[in-house]
Structure 1
């Protein structure tokens, strides 16, 4: 499904993750042993794979599988910044992966390369000993060994700036790499503990690639002379937009079933036609394409055209009769136009029927991707710099309804993610959303009122030069009655507004060091060239009351660590009081106008947020979800100005540059959240030139304490302790309300019915040597 995902640094095999989904990026905690039934329940169940599994003896030998990819590989080096999903797919088939992900998204030792891998020393230094499969060799016949590990460490350690690397995480903690007792052992010593050591050396490149900067930077971009996977690269045809992989003759494991694996670059909006033409066997598709294939399967044998679907299927009998009358009428010019239109419609229907007949040879395999779509709230400046406004936005959202709108029509489970760092089924998953709280319209309105956004705020006069804000006019008349203009300043404070001292106390309890917000209160000016605008505006309700009389709950503030955090409350999903700071102070009432759909304002300025959405093919779901969110925010008095931009500019020109208030894009999950999620939630730092260094934290919201928790988790070798640190970090991320996970992305794959062991993989990584066709007769002719 083509939606926007945020680009991320490390790129390897299925672990390659684009940093938002228009560019490329990714996330492991150690596997937990002896989990209780309560822990299993808190992690939830991972979505089932849908790959038409078959034992190897039931898979035919031979055949060519044509697999659609989005683009030709920008580089074959997964550790470069422009590596993409195609880079990762190729790497997974042709290079060593020491650990691969299983159906639960957990790293498992790959026996094709490793006999064992374990921590053999913890004090005074962490030492990991790899024992290699004695049959593992590169395609040139050389044994895989310590020289390859050593060269990759040196290339990725960050100590040599001549290597153009995207990330150094983990490799920068290594002190030395050396040969063990024999050639099949590699000993890696760390300068400080590193919990995510299983993420390293995957994929593993030969020393031919990583040994010199020239080979690393340029040599591995377009060719890999030496590989060590079940497949090798046969040809990269830029004209045909194909990359062809063939079996590696020196492969020592289970032999690949396919004769060829062809990766064809086919745009998402062209895939239905390519499938119908029979030029693809496997392709990720969007919901509309999935619906067409489902209709085609149901309609098989009935002429290729299902009822109420396809060109002209929705034409009423009266419209059809009118079209016929015009085509056969006395007005010759009008009749000719009508006849041409009817001819084009008939040709379109025939083409559609042919395509439907061909599409019936496919089926849709579906699961949930290891990625979630979020609402991102830019906290750098403007109204969203106030954490109360961000929390109000989050509390206004019905996440369950949004997830159901996307996933229920596809027959997929629609449970909103309760974690930013892991998804249901993964070892690190616990539902920490109670730290923010569930959807609550009154609570959202109260938070906005506490932040000073009220219906009366729209009528306040801004401060004038040399005078006070809202100073009465010279006639001295304030608040004239009988519908006359009010010139005096209307109070934006509710009668139950807490004292300054009470507000200060609440804010102290809300966070240990405060949210990192930079910039003034004015949102960045919008460049009119960036896209079209659609504004959602409701006028203030006339005669709306200033406040309702509702009394809000007081947040609890337990302290279970030196930082004075509320982690204990956040960690208990049953505790509905939530994290301190997630609710409006006691006595704060919701503005009455908001409940009636009235707009809110402060100092005469309306509360309006710029909601940036992509317009490209495959982004229809995001736009639909965006419209639903806008309607939800309307109910609490928040107005949204929807700005639609091209996919090409969405991430670079808006998300990465901070030119947005609200946006929808996706983040992938990973088994290594302490390493891979850290840059996404790291507290931004001021640069020497006055700019802001955000790493991959495009919401610009973070705290020192969240950073500390990530640092501790990355160095914690005890699995239970590491998971608890990640739980506490995630609870803080929820409370900061910089991003709100909405739903796990659907994974829809069109597969020729004879294809086995491939489709919607879910968390797991493909086992390329097992992919093939059911029988030799079912394999496409070459």
Structure 2
């Protein structure tokens, strides 16, 4: 699981620059139990890597329980709603609702036979996708899946309906029609423009009956999931006990899930290590020096690692002094990124390498480092930019001033963040002060971090993770210009028509080589904009209970909760 926003974890493995999630990967520079000297340091796993103890069904026991951590209580369950982008929530929804496609360890889409007999491009001018639905697939209210569900999802998320607070319209806004095909089990989706990443749409599919009105869309999935159609269903949603359980759905038409119960328990990131050692959960992050040191030799424990689409960054807001692009650029030039990464990487057994791209990970075809000078530490250059912006030095250790105003910014920090994140923020704070920028660190409640601060833009500096952002078209949501009050996933509210145009053109470019060129052009402009300062790709390093099957570090692959269980 991810400490996400979204925005912890996994919405965008194909759809919108996957949900933002709180940064929790940094390793504590002073924690005990492990150090850079004692840990076995290896390079990040390569493309296609997966480490989940994959086992066929006949090697997995029937029954039993697996207990997993969840880093915040989930309030909004509609993954298309702006507040429903918390990654773990979307991941769970892809188990209880139809996920038409999954991704394998190389990030390649595969249709799910439980929902689709076939899905393919049947026309290129215009582009038409024809879906053949599995006639056995039914919603929990007894209705079969149909074109009406596809149509309702499209109409709710294409940005043309008032009253629907959508998270992202990418792809959906290019659809011109959704119709029944030759019979009720066939769906035809027509696009007004080519869209390369169509397999990412309708993941998951949400029932038409659950989003008939704006009120249903925005409020009907708060603290509840009214209709399901997956191998698992909700057993309990106990807000008081902060636990969620999934149990097999007896009406499921596919292979029966192995577990009797899958339990999620809300706890802070820092609490997972002790909870694992106390045998209260069966999986915990080991991505910090402290956690890795305590977990690597624990009884009945296996350390697993892989390279997912998972980036750690620092975001800059677009208001106040940061409305000036040169101030944002100065903040980037004042940071010693290598030093910050060393703080994060200390004591962790895989290497955190600098990330030079907002759209591609280093283990993806098409990756190019476009950071240029924007991520290159140069204190003199940072000071020159601030001078040019009218902010005058006022003595060492003091903030610059302009028109009697001190250059003071606020870094909003999740109060449940690991000590390593605090260490990283404190180090960046000192670097910025050397350039004459005073940054105050404001800790806020974990459950308020996104909903009350990041989402509404009440911050100058913040840090979270974007995860599972592929296919590449999903990057649009985090960098597109806001439309009125809808910021999509672009919480900085910074952007340009040029960036939007490049990302949209790339999304409609079928040739992957030509698309990569366009995405890299857009990425170069994002760096110039001073939108987001990329730090590193975050490898997954986790501790799993020995014998836990089909779960761990999935890399670029989808998680299939229905296959999780215990080895025989």
Contact kept in structure 1, 2:64 and 2:261, CA below 8 Å: yes
For 2:361, the equivalent position in structure 1 comes to 423
Contact kept in structure 1, 2:270 and 2:418, CA below 8 Å: no
1:436 equivalent in alignment to 2:377: no
CA spacing shift, 1:62–1:14, aligned 2, 3 Å: farther
For 2:304, the equivalent position in structure 1 comes to 365
For 2:352, the equivalent position in structure 1 comes to 414
CA spacing shift, 1:136–1:265, aligned 2, 3 Å: same
Q: Aligned partners of 2:459 and 2:149: how far apart in 1?
A: 44
Q: Aligned partners of 1:673 and 1:264: how far apart in 2?
A: 32
Q: Aligned partners of 1:704 and 1:155: how far apart in 2?
A: 24
Q: Aligned partners of 2:225 and 2:458: how far apart in 1?
A: 39
Secondary structure at the residue paired with 2:320?
Answer: coil
Q: Give TM-score scaled by structure 1 length.
A: 0.62
Q: Deviations over 1:211-241 (max 9, x none)?
A: 5666555555455565332222333334443
Q: 1:110 aligns with which of 109, 112, 115?
A: 112
For 2:37, the equivalent position in structure 1 comes to none
1:645 equivalent in alignment to 2:443: yes
CA spacing shift, 1:651–1:259, aligned 2, 3 Å: closer
Query: Shift of the alpha carbon at 1:607?
Result: 7.3
Contact kept in structure 1, 2:151 and 2:178, CA below 8 Å: yes
Query: Shift of the alpha carbon at 1:118?
Result: 2.3
1:744 equivalent in alignment to 2:540: no
Q: 1:377 aligns with which of 290, 312, 316?
A: 316
Q: Aligned partners of 2:207 and 2:402: how far apart in 1?
A: 63
For 1:756, the equivalent position in structure 2 comes to 549
Contact kept in structure 2, 1:44 and 1:424, CA below 8 Å: no
Which runs of 5 or more residues in structure 2 are unaligned? Answer: 24-43
Higher mean C-alpha deviation, range 3-12 or range 699-708: 3-12
Q: Aligned partners of 1:103 and 1:750: how far apart in 2?
A: 20
Q: Deviations over 1:523-555 (max 9, x none)?
A: xxxxxxxxxxxxxxxx54xxxxxxxxxxxxxxx
Task: Tell which has more relative contact order, 1 or 2 (C-alpha 8 A, sep 6+).
Answer: 2
CA spacing shift, 1:655–1:75, aligned 2, 3 Å: closer
Q: Aligned partners of 2:491 and 2:537: how far apart in 1?
A: 20
Q: Aligned partners of 2:62 and 2:219: how far apart in 1?
A: 37
CA spacing shift, 1:68–1:289, aligned 2, 3 Å: farther
Which runs of 5 or more residues in structure 1 are unaligned? Answer: 24-42, 298-359, 459-538, 541-597, 776-782
CA spacing shift, 1:720–1:755, aligned 2, 3 Å: same
For 1:403, the equivalent position in structure 2 comes to 341
CA spacing shift, 1:146–1:632, aligned 2, 3 Å: same
Contact kept in structure 2, 1:416 and 1:743, CA below 8 Å: yes
For 1:559, the equivalent position in structure 2 comes to none
CA spacing shift, 1:4–1:646, aligned 2, 3 Å: farther
Secondary structure at the residue paired with 1:430?
Answer: coil
Q: Aligned partners of 1:164 and 1:737: how far apart in 2?
A: 27
Q: Deviations over 1:311-354 (max 9, x none)?
A: xxxxxxxxxxxxxxxxxxxxxxxxxxxxxxxxxxxxxxxxxxxx
For 1:282, the equivalent position in structure 2 comes to 283
For 1:589, the equivalent position in structure 2 comes to none
Contact kept in structure 2, 1:757 and 1:770, CA below 8 Å: yes
Bigger fraction of residues in strand? 2
Alignment of 1:435-454 (within 5 A): 436=374, 438-448=376-386, 451=389
Query: Shift of the alpha carbon at 1:296?
Result: 5.3
Secondary structure at the residue paired with 1:21?
Answer: strand
If you compute each CA radius of gyration, which structure gives the higher value, 1 or 2?
1
Aligned length: 546
Contact kept in structure 1, 2:158 and 2:169, CA below 8 Å: yes
Q: Deviations over 1:168-202 (max 9, x none)?
A: 44333322222222343211112333333222211
For 2:422, the equivalent position in structure 1 comes to 623
Q: Aligned partners of 2:2 and 2:562: how far apart in 1?
A: 27
For 1:144, the equivalent position in structure 2 comes to 145
Secondary structure at the residue paired with 2:309?
Answer: strand
Query: Shift of the alpha carbon at 1:8?
Result: 9.7
Q: 1:735 aligns with which of 518, 528, 546?
A: 528
Contact kept in structure 2, 1:3 and 1:665, CA below 8 Å: no
Query: Shift of the alpha carbon at 1:658?
Result: 4.8
CA spacing shift, 1:666–1:609, aligned 2, 3 Å: farther
Secondary structure at the residue paired with 1:409?
Answer: coil
Contact kept in structure 1, 2:399 and 2:438, CA below 8 Å: no
RMSD between aligned residues: 3.8
Alignment of 1:174-323 (within 5 A): 174-211=175-212, 216=217, 219-221=220-222, 223-224=224-225, 226-284=227-285, 287=288, 290-291=291-292, 293-294=294-295, 297=298
1:670 equivalent in alignment to 2:469: yes
Q: Aligned partners of 1:245 and 1:693: how far apart in 2?
A: 33
Contact kept in structure 1, 2:273 and 2:291, CA below 8 Å: no
Q: Aligned partners of 2:142 and 2:3: how far apart in 1?
A: 42
Contact kept in structure 1, 2:5 and 2:87, CA below 8 Å: no
Query: Shift of the alpha carbon at 1:72?
Result: 4.2
Q: Aligned partners of 1:274 and 1:8: how far apart in 2?
A: 20
1:153 equivalent in alignment to 2:154: yes
Q: Aligned partners of 2:122 and 2:527: how far apart in 1?
A: 37
Secondary structure at the residue paired with 2:506?
Answer: helix
CA spacing shift, 1:664–1:221, aligned 2, 3 Å: closer
CA spacing shift, 1:263–1:616, aligned 2, 3 Å: same
Secondary structure at the residue paired with 1:677?
Answer: helix
Higher mean C-alpha deviation, range 237-246 or range 653-662: 653-662
CA spacing shift, 1:650–1:138, aligned 2, 3 Å: closer
Query: Shift of the alpha carbon at 1:410?
Result: 1.0
Q: Aligned partners of 1:15 and 1:732: how far apart in 2?
A: 22
Secondary structure at the residue paired with 1:723?
Answer: helix
1:708 equivalent in alignment to 2:501: yes
Contact kept in structure 1, 2:257 and 2:563, CA below 8 Å: yes
Bigger fraction of residues in helix? 1
1:772 equivalent in alignment to 2:565: yes
For 2:492, the equivalent position in structure 1 comes to 699
